[in-house]
Structure 1
Amino acid sequence: KNKMPSTIISGVFRSWITIFGAPAKILTDNGGEFNNPELRELGASFNVKIMATAAESPWSNGVCERLNGVIGTLVSKVSEDANCDVHMVLAWSVAARNAFDNNFGFSPNQLVFGFNPALPSVFTDKLPALENVLASDIV
């Protein structure tokens, strides 16, 4: 693993900010890859509030830890296909996780973007969260 601040910042910039725009906040733990002047400078440049969980309190970051655990399980299953490189394995794992987590009856994609994701039909057959209702109809 490369946990250098420059690697983390590059990943946040290339994989989130350039695609979706800057988030209002980023919540991190107190690891050195996150708690550094470079990440704070990125936050200042894009008007992003950088927040950290309290030290020695992993329970305060439970949602993030749970998400990473689910993605880790998906990565291990998807990576059983020897023909996939690590970037493709991670992309498929994140896509699968985002497609099927139905908080309040909606996937994360629906809550963030307001519409259903374009998925292969094998992923979408008769899923109630993907049928005829938009997040904006409820929220």
Structure 2
Amino acid sequence: MDLHEIDHNFYYLHVIDLFSRLSAAAIIRRKDSKVIVDKFMQIWVGVYGAPEVGVYTDNGGEFNSQIFRDMAENLNMSVKTTAGYSPWSNGVVERHNITLTETINKMRESSNLSWETSVSWAVHAKNSLLNVYGYSPYQIVLKEPKHAIVYS
């Protein structure tokens, strides 16, 4: 899980299942623990349930707050953090942030889509891509492919 800045004081929360590489993301307008918890509950826990293994985050204050820790305790979920100033320790999320940000920016350049719509479509496209074994994150998690959105 990571919070990625896409514009000045404008972020998206990006959650990735490390096994399937299934992603979920949402626009965050404030780097605030309560907002992060609400969005995490909305885009991940409300859809897929609480992660059984827990979450791995950077060492940002929004993830080390009491509100975030209370949520994790209530969901019976562990929280592990990277060492400070070492984004490479959360390499999977950091690499996927680059891909997602590039896709979002391309969508916004070529159309008049909102940030929210661009993020949703970019996540859907990423979750539809086949991995090296021939399966998409959607196929691994949902046991069937989801149809890709054709965007032109």
Shift of 1:113: 1.9
* Matched residue SS, 2:146: coil
Shift of 1:82: 4.0
Shift of 1:108: 1.1
Deviation beyond 4 Å, 4+ runs, structure 1: none
Q: 1:56 to 1:85 in 2, by over 3 A?
A: closer
2:141 counterpart residue number = 112
2:87 counterpart residue number = 58
| More helix as a share of residues | 1
Q: TM-score, normalised by structure 2?
A: 0.74
Q: 1:101 to 1:32 in 2, by over 3 A?
A: farther
For the 8 Å contact 2:55–2:79, the answer to whether it is kept is: yes
Counterpart Cα distance in 2 of 1:62 and 1:101: 20
1:29 counterpart residue number = 58
Counterpart Cα distance in 2 of 1:42 and 1:101: 33
Counterpart Cα distance in 2 of 1:39 and 1:22: 13
Shift of 1:119: 2.8
Within the alignment, does 1:10 sit opposite 2:16 as a pair? no
Larger Rg: 1
Task: Provide the alpha-carbon RMSD of the alignment.
Answer: 1.7
* Matched residue SS, 1:79: helix
Stretches of structure 1 that go unaligned for 5 or more consecutive residues are: 124-139
Counterpart Cα distance in 2 of 1:87 and 1:68: 16
| More strand as a share of residues | 2
Q: Percent identity?
A: 34
Stretches of structure 2 that go unaligned for 5 or more consecutive residues are: 1-9, 11-29
Q: 1:8 to 1:103 in 2, by over 3 A?
A: farther
Q: How many residues align?
A: 122
For the 8 Å contact 2:50–2:75, the answer to whether it is kept is: yes
* Matched residue SS, 1:80: helix
Of the two structures, which has the highest relative contact order with CA contacts closer than 8 Å and spacing of 6 or more? 2
Shift of 1:101: 4.4
Counterpart Cα distance in 1 of 2:132 and 2:78: 25
For the 8 Å contact 2:125–2:148, the answer to whether it is kept is: no
